[in-house]
Amino acid sequence: MKAVVLIEPGNIQVKDVPLPEPGPGQVRLQVTLAGICGSDHTLYHGKFGVPMPVIPGHEAVGRIEKLGPGVSGLSAGQRVTIQPNVSCGTCPLCAAGRKNLCPSKTRLGVDANGVFAEYATVPADYVWPVPDGLEDEVAVFTEPLAVAVHAMKIASPQKGDRALIFGAGVMGLLVQQMAALSGAEVTACDLSESRLGVAKQLGAVHTIGSTDPIESFFGQFDLLYETSGAAVALEQVIRLAAPRATIAVLGLPGKDQPIPVDMVVRKELQIKGSLIYTDEFPETLEILKSGRIQTEAMTTEKVSLEEVDRVLRDFTSPNRIKMLVEV
């Protein structure tokens, strides 16, 4: 089969590799559409420190092509999406329902081969049937939207809340839409005017761009979501927060950042981390099926497996939001 293989940081090749055989409790998926994510870019540059070569990619829609031994409740030909963070299921955190925090979880497309390939093997417990009528181009957003759905539980917006979404990439735009569904008045903040244009299209009431004096917005927001992972982001978000505001941090800057602790104390701010998801996939698929989340405006490009290298090399282009891989 054809697959994108990350040989070493910055070196991707499209190769013919053996067709993976599903083991006990696994299914083999014929991939039809995959999403390129910021963590794929991080992996591409070697910042995860994982063994290579590896097939990247962790967002996908496809059809089950073969069932491994012991798999029941699924059938060949069934259209599914995948949950790519496979927890151990036995540690105290997994037992407590916090499998997103499992220290031994395997990340498909990072620690194990992923979905930038014609076929992929996935644990059967980590595939979710796609509802009839939900197009692949929408269903492929299930994994990132599940992150946003989880963030709503970490920091729950209420009607009338002044919500700031820091970063208008895919995650920021999904979080923005989820917050707006709860009745929050949403402001999007990003350096890219093109991304802010999409944010407005998707319901942002206000925007803060690179030419706006950000100081004039300090202290104005009740609920803030940091989705960018930028080095100075959390400090700015703290300054933008109103007294007693809640801040949810989704973005990962890659290293520790200084923050104005005095301001956190004097404002009585709550800062909460929000890491991927737990059991949000069924709920997320229902949200997508309902049509309440718009995805078309976020899809800026569809590429082939052969073009993945080009996309990852130029991933930070401000005009790009979500790139999909047609397999």
Angle among Cα 195, 323, 255 to the nearest 5 degrees reads: 70
Mean of pLDDT values over 195-199? 98
Q: Are strands 221-226 and 85-86 parallel, antiparallel or unpaired?
A: unpaired
Q: Is 109 left (phi over 0), alpha (psi -120 to 50) or beta?
A: left
Query: CATH says 2-141+295-326 is which class?
Result: alpha beta
The yes-or-no verdict on residue 255 having pLDDT over 90 is no
Span of 48-52, 212-216, 254-258 with lowest mean pLDDT: 254-258
> Secondary structure of the chain: what % helix, strand, coil (to 5)?
30, 30, 40
Mean of pLDDT values over 284-305? 98
The yes-or-no verdict on residue 233 having pLDDT over 90 is yes
pLDDT value of residue 318: 85
DSSP string, 169-234: SHHHHHHHHHHHHTT-EEEEE-S-HHHHHHHHHTT-SEEE-TTS-GGGGTT-EEEEEE-S--TTHH
Report percent pLDDT > 70 for the chain. 100
140-158 pLDDT, tens per residue? 999 999 999 999 999 999 9
4-50 pLDDT, tens per residue? 999 999 999 999 999 999 999 999 999 999 999 999 999 999 999 99
Residue ranges of the domains in the chain? 2-141+295-326, 146-273
Span of 220-229, 258-267, 316-325 with lowest mean pLDDT: 316-325
62-96 pLDDT, tens per residue? 999 999 999 999 999 999 999 999 999 999 999 99
Q: Confirm if 55 and 116 have CB atoms less than 8 A apart.
A: yes
What mean pLDDT, rounded, does the chain reach? Answer: 97
Domain 146-273 grouped into CATH 3.40.50.720? yes
pLDDT value of residue 319: 85
Q: Confirm if 33 and 44 have CB atoms less than 8 A apart.
A: no
What 3-state DSSP class applies to 244?
A: strand
Residue spans of alpha helices (H) in the chain: 38-44, 92-95, 136-139, 142-154, 170-181, 193-201, 233-240, 261-267, 281-290, 308-313
Mean of pLDDT values over 99-117? 98
Q: Long-range contacts of range 238-245, CB-CB < 8 Å, 24 or more positions apart?
A: 238/263, 238/264, 238/267, 238/269, 238/271, 239/263, 240/164, 240/166, 240/189, 240/214, 241/267, 241/269, 242/162, 242/267, 243/219, 243/267, 243/268, 243/269, 244/268, 244/269, 244/270, 245/221, 245/269, 245/270
The yes-or-no verdict on residue 97 having pLDDT over 90 is yes
Interhelix angle 193-201/170-181, rounded to 10 degrees, is 30
The yes-or-no verdict on residue 254 having pLDDT over 90 is no
The yes-or-no verdict on residue 257 having pLDDT over 90 is no
